[in-house]
């Protein structure tokens, strides 16, 4: 081997060592550079665009549009709610199936009879008498007074504080019937009408608390019917006989049997 070849071999060895060292440096520097890039991405400052606020005139116009839209929605809601109450008599503020249903004579009798039975512990009026009166006075709930104003017994209003309506009615005066306008009580349901009728017979009137005591003390429906006529409940001279006829035709004493 010559001297020249020995020198070239040494140079090659040194060059290989430098390359290996450079590879090692590039290896860990590469990882470090990678981490630096990740941190730059994470903590890089973001540039935000400047927000342009609408002018005062545009803001006022937008508020006006929002208010108009809100009023329009409220108007629609009120309109649809008002439609739900169409067809219901203005005298009744309470919802009642009695308004919507059309009863047969027997169904009406059964309904009012049960109301009278329920009211008996307070009024002590025979349910047969109460039911027969409702049939005669309201024509089975078909009269204007009973169907629109829930007044089954022709109860008149003598107080300005009571809700009332003026309607024509037939009265028997001086041996003949005449038509007169009278103020009648307004109720929210037939059940309320039955309850108020029971209080009238039980407590009497403001000028005579014992006016209907004969009705309360009666031991039979016939005795109670004549006691009502004697007390002047109705001007019809045949009122008692009419009550008895209705009671017997529809067998209303079955309601009396539930309370006696």
Residues annotated catalytic, as ranges: 171, 196
Q: Three-class SS string for 64-122?
A: HHHHHHHHHHHHHHHHHHHHCCCCCCCCCCCCCHHHHCCCCHHHHHHHHHHHHHHHHHH
Q: Which of 188, 190, 95, 192 is nearest to 141 (CA)?
A: 190
Q: Round to whole Å and give the CA distance between 1 and 5.
A: 7
The DSSP H or E segment spanning 37 is: helix 3-42
Angle at 110 between CA 109 and CA 116, to 5 degrees: 85
The DSSP H or E segment spanning 184 is: strand 176-185
Q: Which of 198, 195, 200, 223 is nearest to 211 (CA)?
A: 200
Q: Which DSSP symbol is given to 204?
A: -
Conformational region of residue 67, where left means phi above 0, alpha means psi within -120 to 50, and beta covers everything else: alpha
Phi, psi of 209 (to 5 degrees): -70, -20
């Amino acid at each position: 081997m010559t001297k020249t070849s020995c020198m070239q071999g040494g140079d090659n060895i040194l060059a290989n060592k430098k390359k290996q060292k450079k590879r090692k440096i590039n290896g860990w520097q590469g990882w470090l550079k990678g981490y630096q890039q990740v941190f730059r991405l994470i903590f890089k400052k973001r540039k935000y665009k400047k927000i342009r606020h609408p002018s005062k005139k545009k803001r006022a116009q937008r508020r006006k549009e929002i208010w108009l839209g809100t009023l329009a929605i409220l108007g629609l809601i009120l309109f649809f709610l008002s439609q739900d109450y169409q067809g219901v008599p203005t005298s009744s503020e309470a919802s009642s199936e009695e308004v919507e249903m059309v009863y047969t004579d027997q169904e009406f009798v059964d309904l009012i009879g049960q109301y009278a039975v329920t009211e008996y512990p307070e009024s002590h009026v025979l349910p047969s008498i109460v039911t027969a009166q409702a049939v005669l006075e309201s024509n089975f709930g078909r009269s204007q007074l009973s169907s629109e104003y829930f007044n089954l017994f022709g109860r008149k209003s003598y107080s300005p504080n009571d809700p009332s309506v003026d309607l024509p009615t037939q009265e028997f005066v001086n041996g003949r019937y005449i038509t007169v306008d009278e103020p009648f009580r307004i109720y929210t349901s037939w059940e309320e009408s039955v309850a108020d009728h029971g209080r009238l017979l039980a407590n009497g009137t403001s000028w005579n608390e014992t006016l209907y005591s004969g009705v309360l003390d009666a031991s039979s429906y016939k005795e109670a019917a004549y006691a009502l006529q004697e007390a002047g409940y109705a001007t019809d001279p045949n009122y008692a006989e009419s009550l008895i006829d209705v009671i017997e035709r529809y067998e209303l004493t079955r309601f009396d049997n539930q309370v006696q």
